[in-house]
Structures are given as structure tokens and as C-alpha cells.
């Protein structure tokens, strides 16, 4: 996936120094450009795959992604700078996040025997919820946009070395109906973080994002995967039907109130799930007051990520496996009380 250039490739006013990620529609590069004062600064440049540049459906998807990205302005969402075309090649530029995605951070922490702590897991989740609440309630000219990310996963949560989380890839919010689907009808590779209703239909609400955040929060707290099977159909069955252990029953040091909040976000019936990201964040913030403070998140990220990880850490690591896989456990998923 990584691609270094002996001679940097130029696209418009940008020098492409390294390819750091590649997906079905496009590829992302670490690039540099100059500002009006002649100072060089880094950007993330995403361009449409050359083989897709003449495909109307992919062009429309890319335009949709650029348009949505340009509308979002929040401290916990990756900033979009420019959407342009050069020699028939569509591309967009975004702020460069000097730090890993959450999946990479979790893997590095596990490998070094320094997994993400309860406090840091709560801080990461709280930051993501602020961004989701903003997006879910965004209006344009007074009209609700009804944005749902639809692809919340550890790949799309970037953690800057200063401890600030940024959500990326909001473009899928309006593109899901155009994406290439697998035979099972879902987006390949994202099944473990899909809400049950999303495995049946593309017409989902912000509740799907809350379920995905619940899965990610559960995995950070419990230090293992919640739904995992290499077989897509079996993985879908886990998402729909597997019993979900309460986090405090796996790690007794997890506050029961925090465990209850996670389980509330993981209710399979969207009507029984926590109502919105704003309320999720409010409850989490209140519970965090009872969790002892520790080293700042930025210190943890900088300690776990060696300096040379700066560029490589932005890659998607599709083959990451945690040390211990979740085994089915007969534990009720109905909270004993509402928070």
C-alpha cells in the first residue's frame, strides 16, 4: 500500500511524496505545497484512481464527497481545503493529520503492552461524539441535511499527536447507494462496525453511527474485537444476533455506569438505542468526572507512536487482529436501568 517516489510526482501545485492509503475509489498521498508566502506545508491529497477517471458513477461519487467535505467545519472533523481537476484527474486536498488512525493506535498499544486506558478510551469517544452531533444536526440554508456518516470505524478516526481526534471520510454519507457492494449487500470490510439495520438496508439514520461508536468504545475498553469472523455472512450474523458482554464483566475496573452507557448504545433496535450523539456525549462527560485523570492523551499517543510512524501511521491496516478474539458469552444486552 505504501508507495514512495524517488522523484516526487506533481499534481497541480502539489508534490506527491508518498502514497499512504488506497481504496476502491481513490488513493491518498502525503503531499506538500507552498502558501502565498512561499512556506511549504503538508496536506493529504486524495485523487480518483486513474482507472476510474472515465467512469461517471465514480466521478459523481467523488464530486459528492468533495461537496460534503467542503460543508463541514468542526474541530473534530478533518478540514477540506480544495477540490480541483488537473489534466482530467480529480483530486481534493485535506489537512494532514500527523498521527495514527485509531486502529493503528490500538494495534501499537497492544504490541507494546500499553493498551488504551479506560480514561483515554472515554476521551477519544467523547471527541468523536462531538463531531457526530455536529454533523447529524447540520443545516444548510435553514434546512436539515440529515447527514449520517455510515462508515464510522477505527480506520476513519484519526488521532493527531497532540491528542486531538479527527473524523475523516464523511463523503460516504451521501454515496452509499452508489458504492460497489459485496454479494451480501454490505460494504466490504466494514461489517464489524455496522449497525444491524445497516446490514439490511442503506436507508439508515444517525442511530447507525451511534451503534458503530458503541462498538469502537466497547473494543477500546475490553481490548478485543466485539464482532469478528473472516466469513462475511457469519460476521453479519454476529452483528445481528451475538450476545454482547457488558464491559465491566470483562474488566471489573470499568465503572458500571460506563458499561451501561456502552450497552445502551449497542441496542440492536434503533428505537431502544441512545437517542442522539449529543446525549451520548453528555452522559459520557458526566461519567468521566468520576474516572481519575492520568497522563494527557497526547503523551500516550506520542509515546506509543515512534517518530518514524508519522506518515506510515495513516495507512489502513486491514489485517490487524487483536491478541484475543471475542467469544460468545451469554450476557443480557438489556441495561438494568436507564442512565
Q: What is the DSSP string of 2-32?
A: -EEEEEEEEETTEEEEEEEEE-SSEEEEEEE
Q: Are residues 200 and 274 in the same domain?
A: yes
Residue 113 and residue 71 share a domain: no
**pLDDT, position 60:** 78
pLDDT at 26: 80
Angstrom distance (rounded) from CA 156 to CA 65: 14
Distance of CA 287 to the CA centre of its chain: 23
Q: Does 146 share its domain with 281?
A: yes
Instruction: Give pLDDT tens digits along the chain (339 positions).
Output: 455 655 678 998 999 999 988 876 788 999 999 988 889 999 999 998 777 777 777 787 788 788 888 889 999 999 999 888 888 888 999 999 999 999 999 999 999 999 999 999 999 999 999 999 999 999 988 889 888 998 899 999 999 999 999 999 876 555 444 444 443 444 544 899 999 999 998 788 999 999 999 999 999 999 999 999 989 999 999 999 999 999 999 999 999 999 999 999 999 999 999 999 999 999 999 999 999 988 999 999 999 997 644 454 444 333 333 333 333 333 344 444 344
Q: Show which of 95, 120, 155 is a domain's final residue.
A: 95
Nearest-5° Cα angle at 331, 325 to 337: 125
pLDDT at 67: 83
State pTM to two decimals. 0.85
Q: In the chain, how many domains are there?
A: 2
- Annotated catalytic residue, options 87, 98, 101, 151: 151
| 109 inside domain | yes
**292 shares a domain with 157:** yes
The answer as to whether 321 is a domain residue is no
Q: What is the model's pLDDT at position 179? A: 46
Residue 128 sits in the same domain as residue 215: yes
Looking at the fold, whether 168 and 304 belong to one and the same domain comes out as yes
User: Kindly report the CA angle at 191 between 333 and 212, in degrees rounded to 5?
Assistant: 50
Provide the pLDDT for residue 312: 46
CATH of the domain at 179: 1.10.510.10
Residue 338 lies in a domain: no
Domain assignment of residue 207, given as a range: 102-312
In a domain, 196, yes or no: yes
> Does 35 participate in catalysis according to the annotation?
no
Q: Is residue 238 part of a domain?
A: yes
> Containing H/E element for 117?
none
The answer as to whether 325 is a domain residue is no
Is 263 found in the same domain as 163?
yes
Whether 119 and 288 have beta carbons less than 8 Å apart is answered as yes
Query: Does some domain include residue 333?
Result: no
Pair 133, 278: CB distance under 8 Å = yes
DSSP tag of 154: G
CATH number at residue 81: 3.30.200.20
pLDDT at res. 15: 94
CA 157 to chain centre: 4
Q: What is the pLDDT of residue 41?
A: 92
Is 334 inside any structural domain?
Answer: no
Amino acid at each position: 500500500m505504501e508507495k514512495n517516489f524517488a522523484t516526487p510526482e506533481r499534481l497541480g501545485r502539489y508534490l506527491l511524496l508518498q502514497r499512504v492509503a488506497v481504496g476502491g475509489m481513490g488513493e491518498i498521498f502525503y503531499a506538500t505545497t507552498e502558501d502565498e508566502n512561499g512556506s511549504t506545508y503538508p496536506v493529504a491529497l486524495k485523487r480518483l484512481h486513474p482507472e476510474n477517471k472515465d467512469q461517471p458513477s465514480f466521478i459523481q461519487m467523488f464530486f459528492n464527497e468533495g461537496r460534503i467535505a467542503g460543508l463541514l467545519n468542526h474541530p473534530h472533523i478533518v478540514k477540506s481545503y480544495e477540490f480541483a481537476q488537473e489534466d482530467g484527474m480529480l483530486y481534493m486536498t485535506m489537512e494532514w493529520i500527523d498521527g495514527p488512525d485509531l486502529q493503528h493506535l490500538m494495534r501499537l498499544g497492544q504490541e507494546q503492552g500499553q493498551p488504551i486506558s479506560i480514561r483515554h478510551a472515554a476521551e477519544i469517544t467523547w471527541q468523536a461524539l462531538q463531531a457526530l452531533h455536529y454533523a447529524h444536526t447540520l443545516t444548510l440554508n435553514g434546512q436539515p441535511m440529515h447527514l449520517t456518516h455510515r462508515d464510522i470505524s477505527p480506520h476513519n478516526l484519526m488521532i493527531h499527536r497532540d491528542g486531538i481526534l479527527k473524523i475523516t471520510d464523511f463523503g460516504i454519507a451521501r454515496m452509499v447507494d452508489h458504492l460497489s457492494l459485496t454479494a451480501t449487500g454490505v460494504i466490504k470490510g466494514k461489517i464489524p462496525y455496522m449497525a444491524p439495520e445497516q446490514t439490511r438496508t442503506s436507508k439508515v439514520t444517525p442511530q447507525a453511527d451511534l451503534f458503530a461508536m458503541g462498538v469502537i468504545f466497547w473494543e477500546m475498553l475490553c481490548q478485543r474485537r466485539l464482532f469478528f469472523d473472516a466469513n462475511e455472512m457469519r460476521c453479519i450474523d454476529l452483528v445481528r444476533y451475538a450476545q454482547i458482554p457488558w464491559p465491566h464483566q470483562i474488566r471489573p475496573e470499568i465503572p458500571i455506569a460506563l458499561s451501561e452507557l456502552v450497552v445502551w448504545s449497542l441496542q440492536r433496535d434503533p428505537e431502544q438505542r441512545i437517542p442522539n450523539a449529543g446525549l451520548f456525549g453528555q452522559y459520557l462527560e458526566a461519567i468521566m468526572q468520576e474516572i481519575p485523570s492520568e497522563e494527557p492523551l497526547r503523551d500516550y499517543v506520542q509515546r506509543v507512536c515512534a517518530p518514524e510512524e508519522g506518515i506510515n501511521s495513516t495507512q489502513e491496516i486491514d489485517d490487524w487482529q487483536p491478541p484475543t478474539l471475542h467469544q460468545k458469552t451469554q450476557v443480557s444486552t438489556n441495561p438494568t436501568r436507564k442512565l
